């Protein structure tokens, strides 16, 4: 059973390397956002698999934290692509 888990970890690491290449060399910004989101999902699954291999539930909090950070990063990057600014300030006062 652990052999298959380590093979899955290796496949996820290889996919993260390919996604990192797409993040750096993406032809347009939307490809980079998708690659960043996919790296977040791959990292979450990698931590989940390592949690199974080590047989502990300690890493479940880390998975939740990574999911929240990945979501916020995707939203911020998408807003930056759409409007060119992440935080809009109202200076009309």
Summarised one tens digit per residue, pLDDT across range 29-87 is: 888 888 989 999 999 999 999 999 888 888 889 999 999 998 998 888 878 877 776 66
**What pTM does this model have?**
0.79
| Residue 79: inside a domain | yes
Residue 14: per-residue pLDDT: 96
| Angle, helices 60-83/29-54, rounded to nearest 10 degrees | 180
The answer to whether the beta carbons of residues 76 and 86 sit under 8 Å apart is: yes
Please check whether residue 20 lies inside any domain of the structure.
yes
Residue 76 lies in a domain: yes
Within-domain flag for 36 = yes
Flag whether 42 is in a domain. yes
| Domain membership flag for residue 29 | yes
Q: Which domain holds residue 6?
A: 2-83
Residue 23 falls inside a structural domain: yes
Q: How many domains in the chain?
A: 1
Distance CA 27, CA 22 (A): 8
């Amino acid at each position: 059973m652990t052999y298959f888990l380590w093979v899955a970890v290796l496949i996820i690491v290889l996919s993260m390397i390919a996604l990192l290449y797409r993040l750096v060399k993406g032809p347009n910004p939307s490809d980079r956002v998708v690659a960043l989101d996919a790296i977040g999902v791959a990292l979450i699954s990698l931590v989940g698999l390592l949690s199974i291999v080590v047989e502990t539930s300690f890493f479940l909090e880390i998975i939740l934290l990574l999911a929240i950070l990945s979501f916020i990063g995707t939203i911020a990057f998408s807003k930056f692509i759409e409007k060119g600014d992440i935080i809009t300030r109202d200076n009309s006062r």
